[in-house]
Structure 1
Amino acid sequence: MSTFQGLEIAKTGLFASQQALDLTGHNISNANTPGYTRQVIDLSAIAPSSTFGMYDQWGKAIGHGVNVDGYRQIRNQYLDMQYRRENKTLGEWETKSETLSAIESIFNEPSDSGIRTVLDDFFNSLQELSKNPESLTVRAEVRERGIALTDTLNSVYQHLDDKENELNNTIVSRVSEINSYADRISKLNNEIYRFELTGQTANDLRDQRNLLVDQLSKIVNITTYEDSNKNFRIDIGGQALVDGNNAYTMSVDEKGAVKWDLAGTDVNPSSGILKGLLDMRDGDGTNGIKGIPYYKEQWNMLAYNIATVFNAAHKVGYGLDNTTGVNFFNITGSYNPSVEYAHDIKVSSEILADNGLQKIAAAGDAASLPGDNSNAIKLIALRDQGVVGLNGASFDDFARSLISNLGVDAQQANMMKQNQDVMVKQVDLNRQSVSGVSLDEEMTNMIKYQKSYAASARMITTMDELLDTLINRMGVVGR
C-alpha cells in the first residue's frame, strides 16, 4: 500500500470527523429553536477500487477511507401526523370553550344584574303594588323595574350580537392567516425543490416547513402528501391548499361564508379553530351545535313571551284613570323568528308617558277603583305560570334552564379542551424524544468525534514521519 494513499485515508477520516463536529455544533446551537429536528451524519466506508485499489503485502484489498453520504433528520412521520390530528381537535375545542365562557359572562348568572334577579325584582314590585294599588310611588317602582328588565334583555342581546360580529371578524382574520401560511409554505416548497436538485437534503428548510404545517394544523384540518418527486401538497377536505409552489387562497364573502377563491365552493372544515369559530358563529341548535344564533333565538323567545303574556294580562285590567287595553311592553303580534325582540323590547310609550303611572292596570274592575288590586294579583301569578311559547316553562324556569344548559356545554367544552391539551403535549413529548436535541447525547457525540478527529490527525502525523524517513533517511550510504 502506498504511503501517500495512507495519507488520503487519514484525510477522509479527518474531514468526516470535522463535518460530524460541525453538525454536532449545529444541533447544539438549535437545541431551543422551535421546530428544529435533530440531524445525524451518515457515513460509509469507501470500498476498494479494482482500478485504483490498494493492496497490502499479501495482496489483500484495502478500502479508501470514509465518505460523508449526507445529513439526515431523525423524524417520525407517524408522530407528526398524530400531532397534527390532535392539534386540530385542540384548536376547535379551545375556540368553543373560550366562546361559551364568554357567553356565560354575558348572561352574568347568578348576579344582582342577571335576568333571574331582575325578573324577581319586577314581580316583587308588583307584589308591593297589590298591597297599595293607589300609591304612585309604588307604581313608579313597578315602571322602573320594568325598565330594568327590558334594559337587561336589551343588553344581553346586544352583547351576543357584538360577540357574533367579533367571531365573524376573527374568521376573516383566520382565513387571511391560512392564506399567509399557504403562501409561505409554497415558497418553501420551491426553495426545497431547487436546493434538493443538487442531491442534498434541505433539512433546515424542511424544519421550517414542518413548523408552519404544525401551526396551520391547529387552525384547520389538513392532510399532507409528498410524492416520489418530492412534490409537497396540503389538502383541506380534498381541496388543495398548497400543491408544490402553488398556493390556493380562500376568502369570506358578504354573507360570511368561507369560499375557495378559484373554485367558488364552500370551505367546510371538519375541525380546527376555523371549525370552532364557524360553529359558534352559525350554530342555531341544528345537529346539537349551539352557538350565538341559538342563544339569541332563545333570548328572543324569552323576551317575546314576557312581553306578550304580560301584555295580555295587563290589557284586561284598569288603571287609576279608568283606562284599559294598555300594553305594558311595546312587543305585540305573532312570533316572527326574524324579529330581534330582545333587542327591541321596551316599556310601552303609554306607560312611559307623564301620566303613565296611572295607566298601570292593577284593578280588575273599573267600578272598584282606586283600591282594587285583583289584576295586580293576576299579574303576580304570571311569575310561576307555565307559558306555551316557552314549552310550558315559566319565565324563571326557562331562563334557569337556558343558563344551566349553557353551563353544562361550557363545562364539557372546557373538559374536552383540557383533555386535548394533555393529548397534544404527550404526543409532542413523544416527538421530542425522537426528534429533539439531547444536549447530553450531543456532548457524548462531540467527545467521540473529537477523539476520532485527533486519531485521524495522529495518523497523518505518523504518515508524515514515515515519509520523512523514506525521503530523508534512506539511501544515505556513500554520501
Structure 2
Amino acid sequence: MSTFSGIEMGKRSLFAHSQSIQTAGHNLSNSSTEGYTRQRVQLKATDPLYRPDLSRAETPGQIGQGVSVESINRLRDELLDTRIVAQTNQKGYWETRDSYVLQMEQVFNEPADQSVRTRMDQFWDSWQELSLYPDSRSARQAVLSRGETLVDSIHQQYRGLQGIRDMLNGDIEAVTTQVNDITRQITALNEEIVKVKAMGDNPNDLMDSRDLLTEKLSNLINITVDKRDVDEEYVIHVDGQELVQGRSRRVFELKSGVTNDGYAAVVWGDSGETASFSGGKLGALIGLRDGDLREEVQNLDTMTMTFVDLVNDIHRDGTGANGKTGLDFFTEQDFINNVAGNYDRDGDGAYDSSYIYRITGANVLNPREQIGLSGSIRLSSSSGTVDVPYFPTDMVADVVRRINDSGAEVVSSLDDSGRLVMKATTSSSPDNPDFVIRYMEDSGHFLTGYAGVLDQRGAEGAYSWDRADAVDALSQRNPSRSVSPIAHPAGWMEINPLMKQDVQSIAAGIAESDGTLHPGDNRVALAISSIRNTPVMVGDSRTFDDYFAEAVTRAGLKGEQASRSLDTQLAILGELHGLRDSISGVNVDEELADIIKFQHGYNAAAKFITTIDEMLDTVINRLKV
C-alpha cells in the first residue's frame, strides 16, 4: 500500500461530494423546467486494494480505498410514464372534441328564436294562415317573408357547420406538420443518446427532452413506446404501425381529393396508405371532420332536400291567385341537366351512370290494405345491399316501415295521393354520391305490378345506377322521378324568383280542369301546412319535428359525453402527474438538505486530507535518523 494512498482516498471523497453538490444544484436550477427529472449521484465503495488471490499481502482483511461515483441516474418510473402516455392521448382526444362539439351546439342555436326549427314552425304557421284566408294577398306575403327567413336560417346553419369543418381541416394540416416535426426531433435525440451511451455516460438531460417530446406527441396521436434495447432502439408505434425506430422515422403527408368536399386525407408518406388514428388530437380532428360534422351537414342536406321536394311537389299542382300553375315554390338545382339522370362519371366521354334521387310509383295504394304478396326487396346500403322481406299478411304501411328500418340508403313513404315514393338518402361512404338511388330490385311483385315502380321482377329487372338509362328498368306506366341535386342543397336552396316578382303566384288552391279557381279553395295551403307532422321520412326521422328533436338531442349528448370524458381524463392525469412529481419532481427543501449533507461530507474529506498531510509532514520532515 502506498504511503500516499490516504491522500488519494481523500481526493476521491472530495470529488464524490463535489459531484453530489453540483448535481443537487443542477436539480435546484431546473426545478421549474418542464419535463425535468431530478438526478441522484450513485456512490459506491472503491474496490479494495487487495483481491483474494495468492499474490495478496498478508494483511488483516482488505484495505478500503474510499468512495467513488458509480453513475448519475434519473429518478424515473418507466411503468408510470407508459400509463401517462396512454392517458395523455385520451386527454388530447376528448379535449379537442369538447372544444369543437361546443361550437357545433352553438350553430344549432337551440332553443332560440333564430333557430331553423323556430323559423320552420313560423313557415308552417304562415301556410296555415293562408289556408284560412286563401284569397289574401297579405297572407301570401307572410308566406314569402317567412320562407325567405327560413332559407336564410338554413344557409346560416350550413355555413356554420361547413365553417367548423374548414377549421378542422386547417387544424389537421397544422397538427400533421407538428407530428412530423416532433418525430424529427425525437430521432435526432435518439442519435445523440446512442452516442453518449456508447461512451459509457448517462445522457439524463437528453432523455428528459425525449420523454417530454414523446408525451407531447402522445397528446397529438395515440402512440405506444417500446424500448427494445435500452442502448440502441427507441421505438414508437401508432395504431400498430411503426412511426419511429431509433434514428429512422416515417412521416405523414396530406393527400387531396380523398375525402368528401375535397378535404385532404392524412396518409403515410412512404406507402400512400391512409393513416388511422384512434386517439389523440389528430384522431379527434379527423373523426369530427369526416364523421360528426359530415354527418350533421348530411342531415341538414337531407332535411333541406326533403323539405324542398315535398313543398314543390304540392305547390306545383296548385294555381296562384294570378292564374299561374305548375310553379315550384323553391328552386331545385339538379346535379345534371338530363331528364334520365345520365352522367359520365369516369370522364371518358360516354354516359355510364344514372343519378336519380326520387322515384314515385304509378299506382295509388291504401296504407291499411294487406298486400297478399311475398318476396324480398333488395336496396343499396352502406355495406353493399340489404334485403327487405314482405309477406301476404303485411299491410302497405308495414312494408314501408320495414324498408325505413332496414338500414338501406333508400327510404320510402306514401305521398298525399297514396303513391309509393322511394327516395335516396346521403351516403355513409365518401366513395358514393349523396341522394342517388344506387340499387333497387324485387324478387316478387310489390315494386312491380302492385306499386308500379319497377317494370320487371328479379335481377334482370333491377334498377342499378352504374349504367346509363337505368330509368328504363322503371315501370312502363311512367312513374314520376327526379334527378339528384347538386351537392349540399342546404347551401343553395332559394325561393323561386317568380314568387318574389309576384306574390300572387303563390298557390293556395287547385284550379278545375277548365282553369277555374274557386274562391276559398285552400287545398294546397292546407296540404303544405300538414307536412309539418306527416311521416315523410327525413332521413332516419319520421317527421320534421322528429328530425329537429333528434338533431338537438344528438348534439347535446355528444357535448355531454365530451365534457364528462374530458373531466375524467383530467382527473386521471392529475393523479398520475402528482405521483410522478413525487418520484421525479424536484423538492427544493430536500435538495437544500442534501447540499448541506454533502457540504459536511466535503469538509470532512478536506479535514481528512489535511490530517494525512500533517502525518506525512511529520514522517518526512520532522523525524530524525
- Confirm or deny: 8 A CA contact 2:45 2:68 kept in the other structure: yes
CA-CA distance at 1:390 after TM superposition: 4.4
- Confirm or deny: 8 A CA contact 1:192 1:205 kept in the other structure: yes
- Confirm or deny: 8 A CA contact 2:50 2:63 kept in the other structure: no
Is 1:252 the counterpart of 2:260 in the alignment?
no
Distance 1:469 1:57 in 2: 27
Residues 226-280 of structure 1: per-residue CA shift (max 9 Å, x gap): 2334222222233322222222211010122221111222211222112111111
Match of 1:273 in 2: 281
SS at match of 1:223: strand
Q: Which 10-residue stretch deviates more, 252-261 or 228-237?
A: 228-237
Partner letter of residue 253 of structure 1? K
SS at match of 1:134: coil
CA-CA distance at 1:2 after TM superposition: 5.4
Partner letter of residue 488 of structure 2? E
Match of 2:227 in 1: 226
- Confirm or deny: 8 A CA contact 2:190 2:247 kept in the other structure: yes
When residues 474 and 450 of structure 1 are mapped into structure 2, their CA distance, relative to the original with a 3 A threshold, is same
Match of 1:350 in 2: 498
- Written as runs of structure 1 = structure 2, the 5 A alignment for 1:460-479 is 460-475=609-624
Q: Give me the TM-score of the superposition, normalised by structure 2.
A: 0.71
Q: Which 10-residue stretch deviates more, 19-28 or 459-468?
A: 459-468
SS at match of 1:162: helix
SS at match of 1:62: coil
Is 1:151 the counterpart of 2:152 in the alignment?
yes
Say which of 227, 241, 244 aligns to 1:242.
Answer: 244
When residues 221 and 391 of structure 1 are mapped into structure 2, their CA distance, relative to the original with a 3 A threshold, is closer
SS at match of 1:388: coil
Is 1:326 the counterpart of 2:293 in the alignment?
no
Q: Point out which structure has higher relative CO (alpha carbons under 8 A, 6+ apart).
A: 1
Identical-residue share of aligned pairs (%) = 33
Match of 1:91 in 2: 92
- Written as runs of structure 1 = structure 2, the 5 A alignment for 1:387-402 is 387-391=536-540, 393-402=542-551
- Confirm or deny: 8 A CA contact 1:320 1:369 kept in the other structure: no
Match of 1:42 in 2: 42
- Written as runs of structure 1 = structure 2, the 5 A alignment for 1:100-179 is 100-179=101-180
CA-CA distance at 1:17 after TM superposition: 0.4
Distance 2:328 2:276 in 1: 47
Match of 1:186 in 2: 187
Match of 2:587 in 1: 438
Q: Which 10-residue stretch deviates more, 413-422 or 357-366?
A: 357-366
Instruction: Report the RMSD for the aligned CA atoms in angstroms.
Output: 2.4
Partner letter of residue 343 of structure 1? G
Say which of 508, 516, 538 aligns to 1:362.
Answer: 508
Match of 1:383 in 2: 532
CA-CA distance at 1:364 after TM superposition: 4.0
Partner letter of residue 361 of structure 1? A
Distance 2:278 2:564 in 1: 20
- Confirm or deny: 8 A CA contact 1:24 1:445 kept in the other structure: yes
Distance 2:61 2:532 in 1: 106
Match of 1:429 in 2: 578
Q: Which 10-residue stretch deviates more, 4-13 or 462-471?
A: 462-471
Residues 391-437 of structure 1: per-residue CA shift (max 9 Å, x gap): 56322231121111221122112211111111122111111111111
Q: Which has the higher helix share?
A: 1
When residues 142 and 11 of structure 1 are mapped into structure 2, their CA distance, relative to the original with a 3 A threshold, is same
Q: Which 10-residue stretch deviates more, 10-19 or 374-383?
A: 374-383
Distance 1:42 1:245 in 2: 30
CA-CA distance at 1:201 after TM superposition: 0.8
Match of 1:454 in 2: 603
Partner letter of residue 292 of structure 1? L
Distance 2:271 2:493 in 1: 44
CA-CA distance at 1:58 after TM superposition: 6.4
Partner letter of residue 62 of structure 1? I
CA-CA distance at 1:365 after TM superposition: 4.5
Distance 1:2 1:316 in 2: 118
Partner letter of residue 6 of structure 1? G
Distance 1:58 1:280 in 2: 79
Match of 1:31 in 2: 31
SS at match of 2:319: coil
Distance 1:252 1:425 in 2: 34
Partner letter of residue 452 of structure 1? G
- Confirm or deny: 8 A CA contact 2:538 2:547 kept in the other structure: no
SS at match of 1:467: helix
CA-CA distance at 1:323 after TM superposition: 2.2
SS at match of 1:50: coil
Distance 2:149 2:610 in 1: 95
Partner letter of residue 506 of structure 2? I
Unaligned runs of 5+ in 1: 284-290
CA-CA distance at 1:225 after TM superposition: 2.3
CA-CA distance at 1:40 after TM superposition: 0.6
Q: Give me the TM-score of the superposition, normalised by structure 1.
A: 0.91
SS at match of 1:266: coil
Distance 2:253 2:623 in 1: 84
When residues 438 and 392 of structure 1 are mapped into structure 2, their CA distance, relative to the original with a 3 A threshold, is closer
Q: Which 10-residue stretch deviates more, 321-330 or 360-369?
A: 360-369
SS at match of 2:71: strand
Match of 1:288 in 2: none
Match of 1:287 in 2: none
Partner letter of residue 47 of structure 2? A
Q: Which has the higher strand share?
A: 2
Residues 51-80 of structure 1: per-residue CA shift (max 9 Å, x gap): 8x9x99964432111111110011111111
- Confirm or deny: 8 A CA contact 1:3 1:463 kept in the other structure: no
SS at match of 2:40: strand
